[in-house]
Structures are given as structure tokens and as C-alpha cells.
Chain A
Amino acid sequence: MSDTKKKSIKDILNFREAGVLIALIILCAVIGIMNPVFFNARNIIKILRQFSAIGIIAVGGGFVIITGGIDLSVGSFMGFGAVGIAKLISMGVPPIVALIMILAIAGMCGLVSGVIIVKVDLNPFIVTLAMMNIMSGVTYLLSNGIPIAFNNYLNFLGREFMTIPVSIFVMIIIMIIGHIVLSKTEYGRQVYAVGGNAMSARLSGINVDKVKCSVYAMTAVLAALSGVITCANLNSGDVSTGSGYELNVIAACAIGGCSLSGGEGSILGVFIGAAILGVIKNGFVLLMIPASWQTITIGIVIILACTLDRIKHLRSEG
């Protein structure tokens, strides 16, 4: 009896994301001790809101990385989402229609990346790098570099509901859906199989091309959605929205245990990864440490997290 109990405690500490979760807890504890304001409900909500933009996209980014790919275009899709929706609405398109259009266009463009990756057999790094340039050019064309005002009922996406920002709800809902899809559906298993060994996956009757295309399309949609939310929050669509986010998204996934060679990772890990990035940003502000140290720390955290994961991986037998 005591034996089985012991085992279950060990099991709890042994789940894949335990390492990063412990890192996150320690990080919170250290910052909280140095500045107790950190643990204020308001501050925690603030952190969550700050990383919700990355968190939403990172769900897609996680899928992409698990299939063995990478997506560098998410930042410009986010900018496209923000500017595109503001532009459409300023042209008189009803907000809800504009939202659907923007998400659909982003999805189509993401699908194009996917199709090129599978049909021309180009490296996803190159294809999404190209797509990143194309989308940021398009965004610039739409706005001429000038922010476009955004005032309509979709602004609620950037507001609060029962004192909690709507973007947090959106992130949590998308995380939960992503988690269920990835871990509990046949499609999710196919995503892992494709990343683990595409040839075996194909011989096991999986439509590898379809799976790969789908993840790029999904990520583009999520990136655009994240852009819309940011736009709603700022009351304007700005070209600079989302710039540099692609690397934050990849960092969140890597910290959270997604293997860049594919086949491994989880949405829970991605969430923790995004949270670590958010906590570091917030903590450095609270502790009044210069921003340059913040980026240095993020760099170190990425390496530490991946090293820890690697060691755990080598040790683990299951």
C-alpha cells in the first residue's frame, strides 16, 4: 500500500513538465520574496495579460514545432491581424465580418506556407521567413505605417470581464482546446507521429502533408487573432504589433520542452514556457533591473531549460 502511494508521488514529480514547472515556481518565489507586490492579484493578472498574446500564438507554434517544423511568420501575421482588422472596419466593414475575414485570410496565407513546405519540399525556416517578409510588407501597404484607429464593439476583446482581461480567457480557452486536441484526439497523435518520423507516419496511413499544412494554417489564424486582441486593447492597429514575437513564441515552446527536431512537447509545457517569459519580464520591472539584463536572462533561461530537459530526457526510461 505505502509502496503504491510512494510510486504515485514519484509519478507526479516525474511528469515531463515537472522541471520547468519547478523552475517557474522558484522564479516566482524569488521575485516574490524580493518584492512582495509580485504576488498581488492585480500583478498576477497583469502578468497573465502580458503573456496572453504570446500564449495564444504559442499553442499553434507548439503544434508546428512538434511536427518538426518552425514558423517565423507569426509576428507579421499578428501585425497583419491588428492592422488588417482596423483597416477593414475603417472602410465600413461590420466588425464581426471583418474579424472573420481577417482570420480566414490569415489562415489561407498560413495554408499557402504549408502547401509550399510539403509540395515543393522546401525547408519551413525558409518558407516562413519569406512569408514573414510578405506579410509585413502587406501590413505596411495597408496602413502606410500610420496607426489606424479602432473603436467598435470588438474593443471588448481588449477590455476586462469581471475584472479579468478578456484576453486571459481567450488564452486559457485556446490552451485547453489545444491541449485536448493534442493529447486526446487522433489528429494529435498524428502530429506527434509526423514529427517523430514522417516516413513511418506516412506508411502508417497518416496523410503527412495534410497534417503539416494544417498546423501552419492554424498558427497563422491564432497569430492574427492575437493581433486583433492587441489592437482592441490599444484602440488602434499599428504596424509594429507583433514584431519580434516569432522568437518569443519559439522561446516559449523550447523552454516548455518542445523538441525542435520534432515529435515531443506539450501544451502544458508551452503554457509554462510562456509564463516563465512573462514572469521574467514582470519581475525585472518590479525589481527595477535594467531591461538589458532581462534579455540576457531570457537567453540564459532558454539554455538552462533546454539543458535540464535534455538531462531529464537522458535519465528517463519512460
Chain B
Amino acid sequence: MSKPIIATASLAGCFGCHMSFLDIDERILDLVELVQWGKSPINDIKTFQQDCDIALIEGGCCNDEHIHTLREFRKHCRILVAVGECAIMGGLPAMRNNIPIKECLEEAYLNSPSTSDANPDKIFPNDEELPMLLDKVYPCHEIVKMDYFLPGCPPRADLIYGALVALVTGQEAELPYEVVKFD
């Protein structure tokens, strides 16, 4: 049997969850024995070359490109894992959810100390190449079905590793008290 293929994505996240994943250190060598790598920012493979078994998703959805990417992952991956608070509930970016989007943009591009002088023509970035901001930041499970959730900001490397190995080997993941934390 061929090894299961793993993909990862970073949506509205800070890459901290990916960094935490890399904190599994030398266990990455054990993981290589168990899995193959598909599309991921870690190996810079940008398109799905084949369907994947497990995808780790960091970050929620704050623009239309995130939604598109997440739906692509749902289409091409058997199991989607929401990794980290941003994927689970929006995280830090979702702090804007109770502020009207117009106010957010005005604060960022017109009124903040660093932009008020630098942007005399009062321009909002609006190139068609740029993704469109959504009204709110959405947790992943509000856009597509997510299969598993690993909390933490970022989730501890032990939690990510333990969950991956459990998924690949078909065992139930262990959830030790000190490893499952929300911060």
C-alpha cells in the first residue's frame, strides 16, 4: 500500500501553526517513513498533483481566496484538520468581527498614524489582483465540513504529531492534559 499523502495550507494565519508543526524536530524523519508530501507551503508545491489523504489547515477565512483554497482542499482531501485557534474560531484576525469593515479599512489606510500622511489621496488598495476582504473572518467549519480540530495558538508540536500519527495508523489520538491548550 502506498503511503498516505499529507497536504497543508495557511489561510488567515500567521504561520505559527506551521512553525509548531516543524517543532516536531527529528520526529519529522519518523513521519517521512509514514507519509508522503503533497501540496504545502513547506515544500512550495502550489497545486494538487493528486488527491491527498490528510490536510492540515491553519487560519480561518478572511478573503475570497481563502474560501476558494479551502474549498479546493475539501474537494481534494479525504480528511481536513483545523489546526489552531485561527482555523477553529477565527483567532486574532476575528477580533475585527464586531467592527464594520468600512471602519477597519478607514483605520488601516486613512486614519492610523502611519498612513494618514502617507496616503494623501485617501486610496484603498483595490487592484483586481488582490483578494476581496470578507465582511467577517470565518472559522473554517463555517465554510466547509472540517473533520478534526486541534486547539492551541499554536497547537503544541506534540499534539500535531500525535494526531497525525494517530490518523495515519488508524489509532485513537491521545490527548494528554498538558498538551491540549487554547493558548
Instruction: Tell me whether A and B are bound partners.
Output: no
Which residues of B are at the interface with A, using a C-beta cutoff of 8 A?
none
A residues apposed to B, CB below 8 Å = none
